[in-house]
């Protein structure tokens, strides 16, 4: 779809730099809610053959009509393949060895996350893309996951679950790549999340490569 159609469909990218005289975004949006996810993972200055493992799993539920965060999920995750964080990783993410030592392994994290999903589905009458079949009702509100690039769910979590023989939750097999949405809407390639914000005249607040901070920036 072209940028205009994508904007009407998603209703996710907003900018105060809308050209004078241009029509305001349509009031109706496809999604009543979006759940923003931004994982952090183990990393090394020279990774070699080592593969990233999730060490922070934050998510929020955003009401697209009000712009309000209505629910949050957050946990640190204990890496199993390479349990000792590199100095490079700690410096980059701010996540400490003590935080991951005391954290839950990925299988427990995913179980807790699915309990959170079930809770918000029941409380908010939310349906995700994978839930839409015939049982949907007029009261149900559509929700989708949003990430910055496909890396979080399509690469990091996908291959980590395969290596650890865990089933990646089916609900996490569909999401919106906000970087791709940005590129289509603005017709330019952003230089990372911070670069995208700078393009829009928005100052990056908080710590880069912190799941909690990056995730909150994504809901602006």
Is 122 in the active site? no
Residue 114 belongs to some domain of the structure? yes
By residue range, what is the domain housing residue 46? 3-10+30-218
- CA trace torsion 196, 219, 67, 133 (10° rounding): 120
17 found inside a domain: no
Question: Does residue 102 lie in a domain region?
Answer: yes
Q: How many domains does the chain fold into?
A: 1
Ordered per-residue pLDDT tens for the chain, 220 residues: 444 444 444 444 333 333 333 333 345 578 999 999 999 999 999 988 899 999 999 999 999 999 999 999 999 999 999 999 999 999 999 999 999 999 999 999 999 999 999 999 999 999 997 655 545 555 789 999 999 999 999 999 999 999 999 999 999 999 999 999 989 988 888 888 878 888 888 776 665 655 454 554 455 5
40 belongs to the catalytic site: yes
Q: Rg for the chain (alpha carbons), in Å?
A: 18
Is the residue at 20 inside a domain? no
pLDDT at 39: 97
Query: What tokens were used for 121?
Result: 């589905």
Residue 16 is assigned to a structural domain of this protein:
no
CATH code of residue 146: 3.30.420.10
Rounded CA gap, 208 and 74, in Å? 17
In sequence order, the 6+-apart residues with CB closer than 8 A to the CB of 124 are: 33, 61, 70, 71, 141
User: Two tokens at 94?
Assistant: 């701010």
Is residue 86 in a domain?
A: yes
Instruction: Kindly report the number of other CB atoms within 10 A of residue 33's CB atom.
Output: 21
């Amino acid at each position: 779809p072209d940028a205009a159609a994508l904007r009407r469909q998603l209703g996710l990218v907003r900018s105060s730099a809308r050209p004078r005289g241009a029509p305001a975004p349509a009031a109706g949006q496809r999604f009543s809610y979006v759940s923003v996810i931004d994982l952090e993972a183990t990393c090394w200055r020279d990774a070699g053959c080592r593969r990233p493992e999730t060490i922070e799993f934050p998510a929020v539920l955003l009401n697209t009509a009000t712009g309000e965060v209505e629910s949050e999920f957050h946990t640190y995750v204990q890496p199993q393949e390479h349990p000792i964080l590199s100095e490079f990783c700690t410096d980059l993410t701010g996540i400490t060895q003590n935080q991951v030592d005391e954290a839950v392994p990925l299988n427990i994290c995913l179980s807790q996350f699915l309990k959170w999903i079930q809770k918000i589905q029941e409380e908010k009458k939310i349906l995700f893309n994978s839930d839409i079949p015939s049982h949907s009702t007029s009261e149900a509100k559509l929700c989708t996951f949003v990430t910055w690039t496909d890396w979080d769910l399509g690469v990091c979590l996908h291959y980590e679950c395969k290596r650890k023989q865990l089933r990646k939750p089916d609900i996490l097999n569909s999401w919106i790549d906000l970087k791709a949405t940005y590129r289509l809407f603005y017709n330019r390639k952003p230089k990372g999340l911070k670069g995208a914000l700078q393009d829009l005249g928005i100052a990056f607040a908080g710590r880069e490569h912190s799941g909690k901070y990056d995730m909150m920036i994504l809901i602006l």
